[in-house]
A and B are shown apart, each in its own frame.
Chain A
Amino acid sequence: MTHLEAQGVRMRFVTYGGLVVRRVWAKRGTLIGSFLGSAIVISLFVVVPLYEDSIKAVDLQFALAGAGEDGTSMVLSATMNDFSLAIAAENRTAVVENGNKLAPWYSQSFEWLRTREFVVIPIEGALMTDEGERLGWFDVAQRWRERKAAFVPETSDEQFDEPPPYPGPPREALQYRAWTGTDIKSRVQLVSGAWPQEGAERVVDGEGVVLQAVIGVDLARVLDASIGDRFLTRPLVTGLAGFAPVVVAGIVEAVDPNDPYWGISRPDELMFYELNAFESWMVGVAVDPATDPWERDVTGFPGVIVNQRFRYDLNQDNVAFKDIPELRNGIAQMRASAARESGGRVSTDSPLIRLLDQFDTRSVVVGAPIQAILALVVGGAIYFLVYTASLTLEREGTELALLRSRGAGTWQTVGIHIAQSAIVTGGAAAIAPFLARALVAVTGRVPPMSDLTGGGTLVVAEAQSLRPFLVGGVILAFGAMGLAIVPFARRSVLELRVLASRPTTKSIWQRYNLDLFAVALSLVVLLQLRQRGFIIFEGDKVELDPIAVVFPVLLLFTGALLLLRLLPFVLRIVGWSMTRSGHLSLALPGWHLSRNPVAYGRLALLVWLTSGLGAFALTYANTLNTSFTDRSVFESGADARIVADHAGYLDLGEGFTTTPVMRTAGGPSQRGRLAQILAIDPETFPTVTGWRDDYSPLSLDEVFTALRPDKEIARVGIGLPEDATGLRFEGIVQPPTVLANLDSPDPRESAVSVVVKVMDARGRLWTIVSSEELTFEEWRSVDVDFSTGLQLTSGTKRYVDPPVGPFELHTLWFELGSNRNGIRSNGNNVYIDDMVVTTASGEVPLDLSELESVNGLSHRSNIANLGLIQDKYEAVPPGFEVPAVDDMRQDPLYRDGTSDLFRSPRRTTQSTLIPELRYRVAPLNVLVDADVQSSTGLDVGSSVRMSIGLVDLDVIMVGRVDLMPTMTDNRFTGKMVFDQRPLVATLNGAATWSVNRPVAAVSGADELWIKTDNPDAAVRRATAELGTAPDEIFTARGSAADFAGRPVQIGLVAILFVGAVTSVVLALAGVVSYVLLAVSRRAREMGILRAMGFPRRGVAMTFALEQVVVLGLGSVIGVYGGVQLMRLMVPFLQLGETAAVVEPTVRLAVAVPVLVGYVAVVAVLLVGAVLWATRRVSASQMSEVLREVER
């Protein structure tokens, strides 16, 4: 190529460039839509990594903040049994040098050295000689030395083989640890005494080498040690000779006992050394055997296990999201290098790595929907781009025809258009990163994300390169816009001219039925995904199935194609029906709709996408929100839940609806699988708990009513009158026989208390003991006062309110007095007469016949009281004359009439069961879930034997419950729900010796579920009632905050709203573009109509009606499509932060009023845009109209 030719080529390019630039400038009005679309498509591509990173960054900050210092710090430790300062220094070098590489994220906060446990051995009075003399260890050693010295080998065939009397730890030895550190003197402060002078840590006196030590104040207190006191100390794990005498040189206390420096150690119970003293004693000190009481050549603690620990604290403010890979690598390298360079001694523990692993899992699981949704938004934006590009091309048909007729080749036509697209795309690409950053930043202001960002913009994190996404977006935008020319460029001049006036009616998709193929493909993918799930688990790694991310887009695409085929039919029918109207403003749009339904179909599709994305976003947000609420209520059970001993029985008073709940575990006998059990009050539970109708096939009322058919409370004992206050009876213990009485038995030895278990009206089981003991000395009137229940409780396992009647008597048994050797009754016969129930209005006879004998306590009624006297004479000394019956009646213990006789069996060593009388509770009704049902083979109405705790009981299945709030403990298999009252009676109704546990301590409802608008007040009230803070507090609001606090999920909602707003903007731009094009095409038509007297308003009305039909159709289908798309997205949400399926599962929640509002707003915006776009023809003067007609 010659210079001139080259110059010519360059000039041609310049001229082409000029042509293209002029073209772009001339079409700027219509190209703005393409530019906007391109910018948004590219931006959204860039938003994907930016948003993901930014949200993760926020999540990371929250995760780090939530983990606290301990959760993020790095601890390196070396455990040595060959400790020396040199080794410690080697470890330090290995740690510090590698630690420096992690600056500025990590900074070393401290280093310390600590031993394993030592025991303190008192020196004085350690051993008792045969003479009853108590000797100290030094004395013992001295005597041993003396014996050894006195031993003359020549006088004996044996060697002196008596081992040195090394001090051994006493049984109740006090344990402590030795501690040092480079800055130990600044960590503790002297209370008394002084640190040993440097070099004088050891003193040598008659007791050998004595170590000077500084001890903590608490250790000093329990040792009762003061300055100068001595004791022996020995490591638990060294050889026998490893011990040393210690003298207290100083007493210290920690400057800050809560300083993380101390970890779980209690500093005031430690013994402290300076670093050098620590080394000298842990390594061992050479001594002259002559000066050592035990003739050792080494004293100290060689071989003691020493732990050296370095802690590095994370500077959370310096951790940026993009640093994570480097930080992770750094920690891994530190772990490896520190281990290698320390000879394998130093190991690294970094909870941060576990935190990051969890963070990664969460990011994948919870981030999946973000990617899927962003893909959706990108898909929608691409459609918009293609749509506006095709509009532009249709408009350019005439020009393309002209170019072709002027000799433009295919590639020249393509080239000009592609260059134009390149300019538009280039411009869009230039602003896209900024737009993307702005989009990401603005999500920080979108509620609920604004709660996390404090209302500010989201800090944009950029951990991964944006370039691939930018390039991807540019390629896609450019392809969607630029490549659309290719089929046009190959068309003939006439075809292009025809195209300009009559757009194509069939897309390439329909021509080759590719849309139907896409539908089939979507169905196949959907089936695949349903079978294999959306998340791939490979070992510990959790990955998102890429198909799952693409699937929503595929579905959107397929739906769009299908609608492109269907919408023209629908619009044609609608248009045709409009033409039936006699009104021109209605008929005209009808004609247009039925004549050119394809173009309107595309517009409707755009609106479909907009309203679809909006409906999807709103439904997504609502579903997510509802799920959070469901999950939080499910986790808390009710508005508030208090867990503490017997908290279920608290009475919070006015304003709170409460129900007691008992939680335990049990399962079918002989199966070894345990199910979670909740025992509830069927009457009040449904009014308090948060319930969802899919928890059980039955409704909330039905399911719990099944536990109490006909609302009848299950009987658990002999019903006592409503105003019963206790029991009263007269009784006596069978006196000893005359023979036995010769030994003058102590009446207290056989005295018995009567113990009963009664259940009060609130389902509490009370163990109540008679006010006095029965003895054999006299008939004694005894009360069992129910009001004494509270006094009998002890410890924390107690009820806080007195018993409330009416009561049911469940158990009765006898217990020997507490001051004897064993309290179990042992063959005692007890006569009880006139057992009555005391009430406010008098006494009511009590019939015990409903109680069954258990474990051998026999009960017989109507036993003649004479038997008591006759039994006295059953064993008499030889020669003793048994009185006649009449004489027996003279016995002071004799009384007329009959009594109830209770006879307990003789005590044996094998039997530990308690003889008792007990009410047999009917088999318990139970609700079970599918797991229990399958493991037991239960069906409604059938029964099975269960084991709960140590109690076997028969249960009858009365219904199915698949989910129960708070029953989320995955250690158990299955769930069961009982009526609390009979279950408590069954589990705790058995007699219990008072020595085994506090008398009133029964396992009951330790949870109080509260329905309230003010959970905080409920918690305060409960705390006040309990007198102490509850063990655990759950509130629905608190749980919701925990879930919703996950920035990833919140971010999801935020981006959805941004997506919805973006889609509205795109739709507005698309509609305006279309209407402007339609107006310019139909200006002539409208001009003619105006000239013929068609009113100005009629013109606007014509366009508006057309668009209302199209937009209305698009909106309705869009809202439906959006909701359906959300239905398909629901599986994405089923996995929680730990990749486990959430309970209760996420359900689609459609917010109908919000959707209606959204559609109304979009419709107003779009119709407003239409009217604005038609202003040219509708508002122009008649002269302009006539000029339009002329043109």
Chain B
Amino acid sequence: MTGAMVECVDLIKIHKQGVLEVVALHGLNFSMEEGEFVSVVGASGAGKSTLLRVLAGLEQPSAGTVSVDGVELSGIDRRDLTNYYRRNVGFLWQDFHRNLLPYLNVRANVELPMLLAGVGARRRKARAMALLEAVGLRNLAFAKVGTMSGGEQQRLAMCVALAMQPKLLLADEPTGELDTHTSIGIYELLREMCERDGLTVLVVTHDVALATRTDRVVRLADGRLVTTQGGADEAVVQVASDGSVQFPREMLRAAGIGTTTRAKRTDDGILIRPMDSHDA
């Protein structure tokens, strides 16, 4: 953690729908440190995607300030915005079809942002292969996009988004169309990049279980920040219909809980402890 990568102060975003004005973000104050992996959860219409689009520079805030890696996004001009897309931010759409050009092969898709940014061919190739190696797609470098599975396409999309080594990766429900196993794989990959490359990642998701795999879960409601839960100290977990509960691994590790745990009902709820701990 070396400083605020993302800083939103009193961020307001109003959508106009005909004569109606809908306040999507309602004076949001939010920040992210460099290398942080944050997930945003909330009900539909809470403002998650709007926040992501504002941070991506796709939409201009109606009021307040937003800065990403020192780039002030309020009132940014077209040229700076293009540079912002090229250098500062990577974006993952939920629909992985929309992240890739179908007529380019895998490596060419990864090289595309670098080509647009004017990166030399040798560097493009090296970077592309390194990224594909990192996501386990190296052997598919010359494959057609259409022949790949959804998980592979989304991993490839991540490579494309990260091709220019942005400081910030924004992902709008990147695993929304993927199965749980593949989704966990994607999240682990993101986690790995955060840890290894210092990448800052903001993920919008509806999947609370996946959200707990991030450093921090931010909950939005009606365009406002409701709660922020730290990854190892506090978490919101989901109770399955069969009564099983899954906790964040960090939290379990920090609590010294291994493969089994001791649970005890208290007046406040249920307390779980390591098997070898004593009752308080």
Contacts and interface: CB of A to CB of B under 8 A. Distances in A.
Contacts of A409: 79, 82, 116
B101 A405 contact: no
Candidate in B100, B111, B117 with the most chain A CB atoms within 10 angstroms: B117
B85 A22 contact: no
Chain A interface size, as a band, is 20 to 34
A1126 to B, nearest CB: 45
Contacts of A26: 102-103
A22 B108 CA distance: 11
A409 B118 CA distance: 11
Interface string B186-210: 0000000000000000000000000
A195 B76 CA distance: 111
Contact of A15 (B53, B86, B115, B164): B115
A412 interface: yes
Interface stretch (A228-236, A360-368, A395-403, A1002-1010): A395-403
Interface in A376-417: 398-399, 401-410, 412
A407 B56 contact: no
B116 A406 contact: yes
A1180 B98 CA distance: 26
Contacts of A25: 103
Contacts of B56: 405
Contact of A406 (B58, B85, B103, B121): B85
Interface string B154-166: 0000001000100
Interface string A11-47: 1100110010011011100000000000000000000
B103 A22 contact: yes
A494 interface: yes
A23 B109 CA distance: 12
A407 B53 contact: no
Contacts of B87: 407
A398 B85 contact: no
A407 B118 CA distance: 11
Contacts of A16: 115
A23 B58 contact: no
B135 interface: no
Contact of B86 (A27, A407, A497): A407
B121 A398 contact: no
B37 interface: no
Interface in B60-113: 78-79, 82-83, 85-87, 91, 98-104, 108, 111-113
B116 A407 contact: yes
A217 interface: no
Contacts of B102: 26
Interface string A404-442: 111111101000000000000000000000000000000
B120 interface: yes
A182 interface: no
A404 B85 contact: yes
Contacts of B179: none
A823 interface: no
B59 interface: yes
A490 to B, nearest CB: 8
Interface in B164-191: 164
Q: Is the interface of A mostly helix, strand, loop or mixed?
A: helix
Nearest to B161: A406
A597 to B, nearest CB: 18
A15 B58 CA distance: 27
B116 A408 contact: yes
A1103 to B, nearest CB: 24
Interface string A621-637: 00000000000000000
A8 interface: yes
Nearest to B79: A409
A493 B115 contact: no
A19 B115 contact: yes
A844 to B, nearest CB: 105
A1006 to B, nearest CB: 83
A581 interface: no
Contacts of A8: 120-121
Contact of A494 (B53, B103, B115): B53
A15 B107 CA distance: 13
Contacts of A399: 101
Nearest to B121: A11
Given A8-B120, A406-B116, A409-B82, A492 B58 contact: yes
A1187 to B, nearest CB: 14
B5 to A, nearest CB: 19
Given A402-B98, A405-B56, A492-B58, A22 B115 contact: no
Interface in A63-113: none
Nearest to B103: A26
Candidate in A12, A403, A407, A494 with the most chain B CB atoms within 10 angstroms: A407
Given A405-B56, A405-B58, A407-B82, A12 B118 contact: yes
A408 B101 CA distance: 14
Contacts of A27: 103
Contacts of B164: 407
A405 B91 contact: yes
Contacts of B160: 406
A403 B103 contact: no
A407 B117 contact: yes
22 contacts: A11-B121, A15-B115, A16-B115, A19-B104, A22-B104, A26-B102, A402-B99, A402-B101, A403-B116, A405-B58, A405-B85, A406-B113, A406-B116, A406-B160, A407-B82, A407-B85, A407-B113, A407-B116, A409-B82, A490-B78, A494-B53, A494-B58
Considering the complex of A and B, which 8 residue pairs feature the smallest CB-CB distances, nearest first? A26-B103, A407-B86, A407-B85, A406-B113, A409-B82, A11-B121, A408-B116, A8-B120
Given A23-B103, A403-B112, A406-B160, 10 more contacts: A8-B121, A11-B120, A19-B104, A22-B103, A404-B85, A405-B85, A408-B82, A408-B116, A409-B79, A493-B58
